[in-house]
Structure 1
């Protein structure tokens, strides 16, 4: 399987907790589709204290996994939003 692009996308989006609206990440997202996964190497700013958990409400919003051999967070449907 192919690895993600070496050159990071230029568009940044902010990712928020869907329950309490706390900012979780500032992320370099490629494409215009829904937020399904976040590659760790593309995270610009990380506001979480423990991985995959909201710092405010402690809700688990993602799972730590490997996607195409690269560390990533697999977003649980409906737990995180982006703007």
Structure 2
């Protein structure tokens, strides 16, 4: 399978924890679909200390994985939302 676009999209979205509303990432998202995964190379600002764990409420919101050979975070259910 093809790797994600190196240049990446220009539109940025803010990703928040759905439980405590803390901002987790500023992310360059492509397309207009739902937020399912987050490629690590597209994260602009990372406000978390541990990957996949909310710094405020300690909720696990994602798992680290490889998607198409690129490191990514795969989100769990409805634990995050974007604006």
TM norm structure 1? 0.98
TM norm structure 2? 0.98
Runs of 4+ that moved beyond 2 A: none
Equivalence map 1:65-80=2 (5 Å): 65-80=65-80
| Structure 1 match to 2:42 | 42
Residues in 1 aligned to 2:12 and 2:63: alpha-carbon distance in whole angstroms: 21
Verify: 1:20 aligned to 2:41, yes or no: no
Q: C-alpha root-mean-square deviation of aligned residues, in Å?
A: 0.4
Deviation string for 1:1-42 (max 9, x for gaps)?
111011110000000000000000000000000000000000
Give ranges in structure 1 of 5+ residues lacking alignment.
none
Verify: 1:11 aligned to 2:28, yes or no: no
Aligned length in residues: 83
Verify: 1:30 aligned to 2:30, yes or no: yes
Residues in 2 aligned to 1:2 and 1:12: alpha-carbon distance in whole angstroms: 22
